Amino acid sequence: MGIYNYNKENILKAGEILKNGGLVAFPTETVYGLGGDVFNPTAIAKIFEVKKRPFFDPLITHIADMDMLLKLTYINDYKILKLIETFWPGPLTLVLPKKDIVPSIITSGLDTMAIRMPDNNIAIELIKNSSGAIAAPSANPFGYLSPTTAMHVYEQLGEEVDMIIEGGSCRVGVESTVIDMTKKIPIILRPGGLSKEEIEKVIGVVESFDRTTSSPTAPGQLPSHYSPRKPLHILYEGINNNIDFSNSAYLSFKESGLQYGFKKVEILSEKGNMLEAAANLFSCLHKLDKEEVDNIYVEKIDEIGIGKAIMDRLYKASKK
């Protein structure tokens, strides 16, 4: 139990815990994952139980090599290989037809599965010392802010995880982009660390799920998610006089004069760099959630590049 430093001995130990059906929280480049052995349905059930996650919400499987990809899924489109060659390891999750070897609890009974190769040495070493495939949702209670440090995991799930591996702050800071490759035109189900623009440069036009017009088809698309405990409001029309400044916190994308009235302020990136803002997003929200304020306000940004994933998280966090 508790947080363990990253070293060879602890990775071996973590691998044993996984092989014996236990749960290990580990860093990835996006957010910390709560890992269990893909081939052990009881371990997977434990993930759902610890997170209080509904069983209809399928998990992402993490792998470290192509052999495992071929063991678990069917590759039936050249575009899939192009994406893998360009973006793996990295923040891109592919939804692919699954093989029978994959337990249905991972996929909530679907005949497709979500799979990715994380760009983080600790994660890769852990996978290599496990059965070779780790299912891992973000290591937080269902619906709450995602963890981007080992301490976030400890604060939220504490002793319910057999081991938490220390890996510093996550480089990307928002979850992977999930793209369904089983459709004629691939469709982005969840915007994330890799932008639609970057994907289209490699495989041409893809569709994306539009949160404002579509009804959810995958549970990651539920309107409310990634939420702090305090109410979060997006300032679509900018800062206005209806805000009780003395009692509110402000999440700002860059250093500016606008924030001075607020009781508490977090700045996502002093220079307004959106990649840096994404990396700091959940950390800053965790901080503001602990402050003595009644409301958190955040400005709106353009949904370009990673801005799309940032606004997706903020929009869902603002829904209760």
Residues that bind Mg ion (CB under 5 A): 138
- Binding of residue 170 to ligand TXA (CB under 6 A): no
Q: Which of 63, 113, 62, 117 lies closest to 88, judged by CA?
A: 117
3-state secondary structure of 5: coil
User: Rounded distance, CA 139 to CA 34, Å?
Assistant: 4
Q: How far is the CB of 136 from Mg ion (least distance, A)?
A: 10
Task: Give residue 140's identity as a one-letter amino acid code.
Answer: N
The least CB distance from residue 202 to ligand TXA, in Å, is 19
Residue closer to Mg ion, measured from CB, 138 or 195: 138
Shortest distance, CB of residue 48 to ligand TXA, whole angstroms? 10
Q: Distance between CA 267 and CA 280 in Å, rounded?
A: 9
Span from 112-120, 229-237, 258-266, 282-290 in contact with ligand TXA (CB under 6 A):
112-120
Q: How far is the CB of 126 from Mg ion (least distance, A)?
A: 19
- Would the CA dihedral through 88, 89, 93, 95 be positive or negative? positive
Find the binding residues for ligand TXA in span 53-82 (CB under 6 A): 57-60
- Number of residues written out for the chain: 320
Decide if 141 contacts 157 (C-beta within 8 A).
yes
Tell which one of 189, 274, 310, 317 touches ligand TXA (CB under 6 A). 189
Residue nearest to ligand TXA (CB): 220
What are the DSSP E strand ranges found in the chain? 3-4, 24-26, 33-37, 60-63, 92-97, 112-116, 133-135, 163-165, 177-180, 187-190, 207-208, 232-235, 248-252, 264-267, 295-299
Binding mask 196-225 for ligand TXA (x = CB under 6 A): ----------------------xxx-----
50 lies in the binding site for ligand TXA (CB under 6 A): no
Tell me which of 40, 73, 107, 129 binds ligand TXA, using CB under 6 A: 107
Residue 280 binding result from Mg ion, ligand TXA, none, given CB thresholds of 5 to 8 Å by partner type: none
Residue 61 binding target from ligand TXA, Mg ion, none, CB below 5 to 8 Å by type: none
The answer to whether residues 195 and 310 touch, using CB atoms and an 8 Å cutoff, is: no
Binding map of ligand TXA across residues 25-44, x = CB under 6 A, - = no contact: ---x-xx-x-----------
CA gap 74, 133 in Å, rounded: 16
- Is 110 a residue that touches ligand TXA (CB under 6 A)? yes
Distance of CA 282 to the CA centre of its chain: 10
- Cα(117)–Cα(84) distance, rounded to whole angstroms? 9
CB of 47 to ligand TXA, least distance (A): 9
Q: By the criterion CB under 6 A, which residues form the site for ligand TXA?
A: 28, 30-31, 33, 57-60, 93, 95, 107, 110, 112-114, 118, 136-138, 175-176, 178, 180, 189-190, 218-220
